Structure 1
Amino acid sequence: MPEPNRLLRAARERLPSPSVPGERASRADVADGVTRWLWETTRTRYPFDAHYVAKLERGVVRWPSAAYRAALRHVLGAADDAALGFATPTRSSGPAVPSSFSAWQADAVVEGAVITTEQDLVPTSRRSLLATAVVLVGSALATELTPFLWPVAAVAKPRQGASAFRAVELSSVEEFVRFLRRGRSISGSVARSVAVAQLDSHLRRLKAAPSGTAETRRAFRVSAELADIVATMAWDEAAHGAAQRYFKLAAQLAHVAGDGALAAVALASLARQCFDLDQPADGLEVVQLAQYATRRTASPRLRAVLATREAWAHAQLGDALAFRRSVRLAEDYFSEGFRDGDAATPSVRSLDEAELMGVIGARYRDLSRHDARHAAHAQDYIGRAIALRDPDRVRNRVFDLVGLARAHLITREPERAAELIGMALPDAAPWTSGRVGVKLRDFHREAGAFATVPAVRDVREVVAAKLAV
């Protein structure tokens, strides 16, 4: 017989019933509160009912999903999962600690990562579990990420008989990571399933590795890079629940590896996803978490990356003063140049002058949605980015051209906008199923106001044919 979850039942019984004055909350009351909160925060209907609450109280289920835990904490007014009697299956007996803390420790991170990759590798599970996974927002997301501020627990001594990674194995996986990053930047054709399969294989190897060795820390780091790549692929496919899960996983793995810069970059990517989903307040909270956690260790170039993400949030929120302050910081940090270690961190090593100009220009375009006078700044920055771009960064140049075209729509220059889209389309074909396609659809929609202009009409027809709009 499972051990009853007395803490959860006590928390329910402390809650007044919203349906029967003077009574304690029933399981149905709790279920109603959970489903209502989940709908309000995620716009997703969940099959959470009184029968499931009963299973939780009987101890049949000891570790519900992250979304259910967040909702129950909210409804029952709990500070953390431990207050509701929830504990990860891998946690050993001993002094109670918040389960959100445990979830960021080495064994729990690997265990959760293997479960995620297992689900993603089975086609039916990919459709029903990860592809439709909930996107956490608000306090639910913040609660999941807060342990990034806490230190990793001291690791145990190497286990007897554990199979250590060999240097040649790690070098092979690191070369695969470099191949994936090159493939994403050049052709965008590397299958996500290949990356997930490699990550799954590496994680299973990591489960059997001794803890606390330099090789194991290196293995955690390369796992983090693989998870970040898979997250970006999922994001490109608009599988946002899966992408968020992998971005968080990348941050956890890097945290365990002791690489704060890589963990911060993973959180910066997660923040960028929030902006893509029009959740700027969440994105701002995530990037400020990364900034605070690395306040003593971040290089100037990492600070520049994080400042551009902060500017992104302020642009979407329409806060021009805060936006300009963040942009000035990004430019000042960038001017300090590279430091040791920057070349090892994705997003940091790729932040050259062209990328900085392009990012700032795109953010000025976001700000111009609140005040069209900022569109001229967007055009200036993106124009400089195009002039500076490495010819091999084709995908980035396509983003620049589409972003610049959209800025010219704001300043009511439709012919110039159509010309720029015409320049982008020949190179855009390999990526139209991903975010490039999303940006072209944005242009198609925004250019509808100028549909009677012949050049705009023609290019919109080409875009519509390519994207089946």
Structure 2
Amino acid sequence: MPEPNGLLRAARERLPSPGVPGEHASRADVADAVVSWLWETTHQRYPFDAHYVAKLERGVVRWPSAAYRAGLRHVLGAPDDAALGFAPSSRLADPAPVQSSFTAWHADRVISQAVTTTELDLMPTSRRSLLATATALAGSALAAELTPFLWPATAARPRAGTAAFSIDELTAVEEFVRFVRQWRTTNGTVARSSAVAQLDSHLRRLKSAPAGTRETQRGFRAGAELADIVATMAWDEGAHGAAQRYFTLAAQLAHLAGDDALAAVALASLARQCFDLGRPHDGLEVVQLAQYATRRTASPRLRAVLATREAWAHAQLGDTRAFQRSVHLAEDHFGEGLRDGDQDTPSVRSLDEAELVGVIGARYRDLARHDARYALQAQEYITRAISLRDPGRRRNRVFDLVGLARTHLIGREPERAAELIMMALPDAASWTAGRVGVKLRDFHRESARFATVPAIHDVREAVAAKLAA
């Protein structure tokens, strides 16, 4: 009697049901999602159903085809075949690595898959497919998804009777992008559904635009910025699978637009998401892919952005020498100043001196978790960032204050940490549902060891009340 595949069943039962709140996914749910993904990536129909999933879980089949394994890894968010209990038998080995169904990002396919993603995201929660709720990719699966950035993109097929973007259409999308970025920075959150709806509409328009025109290239770039905004919103909400898909889409659309600096920035954001999820090895691989792909074209300021992300990985891994090397590179590249085009690229244009030293200070705080001696350097950098911040960048200031407070916890200075959090709380109210709230929860957890200190006791209660509001 075959041994049941407990890993596969456990992976399925970790996935939420698309139709029954509070329940896990059924075998039919998983089968439907795999078939949908295979159709999107290969344009082939596969006879994969709930009965076959049952055979896999019972262990009757221990090594399904490469296509089925790839689909299951994607839907279940598995880093490799072994995580799903799959292993080749001695009689039926499949030693060749799983290949992507295509070797470059193809415009028609990218847009088609993106429209499917936005459609699912706009559905009521109770009707969303598993493709909208799958976990984030990791390890080799994530690397395979992003490797096409190294190759030239494939343009859309010529289509007869298509209408070009008008200048008014493109200007309206670009103004929407600027509005949402500014609003989120100064006033709080904007509903993700609004940005997804705008992206969905833009993608459908892009799908019908003629290939290769200057207006269509501009349309791809505007779509990349929209996807990046949606990704950041999803990340703020803790929807990491959706955030990863949109960051990847942003990189794809930017690459198709011929703007690899913007694509690299999207990958830098995806790497930062990996760090937030505690996956420094994945984040390092993503940022090094971006560095390699733009090694001949990146401006000094983009190199500085990517170097800060590389430093982030080394700090989380506790690799002091590699961390300091990356920090010095970031500072040196920043010192070379802005170049033409830098103002057109998010994260690059926003990397002023305050942002640079703030990011480096936060990374010294990560390093201080491995060696507390670096807490003082973290405090010096973050304090400098606070003094340099534009008063209008309230959200960044909140991050600075919370980050600085956490360094004082590492340095066993709880009263100073409590004082800093109380300074941050009034401005934090607009963003507690997002990553600001995550950082406050991190402080609340890390300060528990000082809970008997009166100032910490009071500030922990204030933080809990703010998060519950």
> Post-superposition shift, 1:128?
5.7
User: Are 2:312 and 2:323, in contact at CA under 8 Å, matched by a contact in 1?
Assistant: yes
- 1:5-154 superposed matches below 5 A: 59-60=46-47, 64=71, 66-67=74-75, 75=86, 77=94, 79=96, 98-101=100-103, 104-124=105-125, 129=130, 132-154=133-155
Report the alpha carbon displacement of residue 129 of structure 1 after superposing the two structures with TM.
3.7
Give the 3 Å change call, closer, same or farther, for CA 78–338 of structure 1 in structure 2.
farther
Alignment length, in residue pairs?
Answer: 424
SS of residue matched to 2:103: helix
Distance 1:72 1:140, change over 3 A: closer
CA contact (8 A) 2:11 2:76 kept: no
Which letter does structure 1 place at the counterpart of 2:429?
Answer: A
- 1:99 match: secondary structure: coil
The residue identity in structure 2 corresponding to 1:235 is W
Question: Structure 1 CA distance, aligned partners of 2:214 and 2:45?
Answer: 43
Describe how 1:336-355 pairs up with structure 2 within 5 A: 336-355=336-355
Query: What's the CA shift for 1:132?
Result: 2.9
Deviation at 1:58, TM superposition (A): 8.4
- Other structure's SS at 1:161 match: coil
- Kept in 1, the 8 Å contact 2:79–2:137? The answer is no
Distance 2:77 2:437 in 1: 36
Tell me if the contact between 2:320 and 2:367 (Cα under 8 Å) persists in the aligned partners: yes
Residues 55-114 of structure 1: CA distance to partner in whole angstroms, max 9, x if unpaired?
8998335884634697787746465656xxxxxxxxxxxxxxx41425x21000000000
Aligned equivalents of 1:394, 1:210: Cα separation in 2: 42
Amino acid aligned to 1:371: D
Show structure 2 runs of 5+ residues with no match. Answer: 15-23, 39-43, 49-66, 89-93
Task: Give me the whole-angstrom Cα distance separating, in 2, the residues matched to 1:71 and 1:405.
Answer: 35
8 Å CA contact 1:67–1:140 kept in 2: the answer is: no
TM-score (norm 1): 0.83
What is the deviation of 1:212?
1.0
Could you tell me how far apart the structure 1 residues matched to 2:449 and 2:427 are? 26
Q: Helix, strand or coil for the counterpart of 1:357?
A: helix
- Contact residue 131 and residue 240 of structure 1 kept, 8 A: no
Distance 1:78 1:269 in 2: 34
Equivalent residue number for residue 90 of structure 1? none
Change (3 A) 1:71 1:381: closer
* Offset, 1:447: 1.1
Matches of 1:116 and 1:381, distance apart in 2: 40
Q: How far apart are 1:152 and its partner, in Å?
A: 1.0
Match of 1:383 in 2: 383
Contact 1:38 1:71 in 2 (8 A): no
Map of 2:52 onto structure 1:
none
- Measured after TM superposition, the shift of residue 450 of structure 1 is 1.2
1:120-146 Cα shifts (integer Å, max 9, x gaps):
001126766466321111111111111
Contact 1:224 1:254 in 2 (8 A): yes
Aligned residues with identical type, % of pairs? 70
Counterpart position of 1:425:
425
- Which residue does the alignment assign to 1:167? 167
Residues 333/253 of structure 1: CA separation in 2 closer, same or farther (3 Å cut):
same
Deviation at residue 187 of structure 1 after TM alignment: 1.4
**What are the within-5 Å matches in structure 2 for residues 17-416 of structure 1?**
59-60=46-47, 64=71, 66-67=74-75, 75=86, 77=94, 79=96, 98-101=100-103, 104-124=105-125, 129=130, 132-156=133-157, 158-416=158-416
Cα gap change, 1:58 to 1:283, in 2 (>3 Å): closer
Please report how far the alpha carbon of residue 119 of structure 1 lies from its aligned counterpart in structure 2 after TM superposition: 0.3
The verdict on how the C-alpha distance between 1:412 and 1:68 changes in structure 2, with shifts beyond 3 A counting, is closer
1:36 and 1:456 map into 2 onto residues whose CA distance is: 40
Compute the displacement of 1:32 (Å).
Answer: 6.6
RMSD of Structure 2 on Structure 1 (CA): 3.0
Q: Which residue of 1 aligns with 2:460?
A: 460
| Alpha-carbon shift at residue 455 of structure 1 (Å) | 1.3
After superposition, give the CA deviation of every residue in 1:303-346 in whole Å (9 maximum; x if it has no partner).
00000000000000010110000000000000000000000000
- Specify the alignment match of 2:19 in structure 1: none
Once the 2 structures are TM-superposed, how far is the Cα of residue 33 of structure 1 from its aligned partner? 7.3
Structure 1 unaligned runs (5+)? 1-18, 21-27, 83-97
Contact 2:163 2:208 survives alignment (8 Å): yes
Which AA in structure 2 matches 1:136?
Answer: L
Amino acid at match of 2:46: G
Task: Give me the whole-angstrom Cα distance separating, in 2, the residues matched to 1:283 and 1:118.
Answer: 28
Alignment check: 8 A CA contact 1:37 1:71 kept: no
Q: Report the AA paired with residue 222 of structure 1.
A: A
In 2, Cα distance between equivalents of 1:68 and 1:355: 37
CA contact (8 A) 2:408 2:417 kept: yes
Contact 1:308 1:330 in 2 (8 A): yes
How far apart, in 1, do the equivalents of 2:282 and 2:325 lie? 20
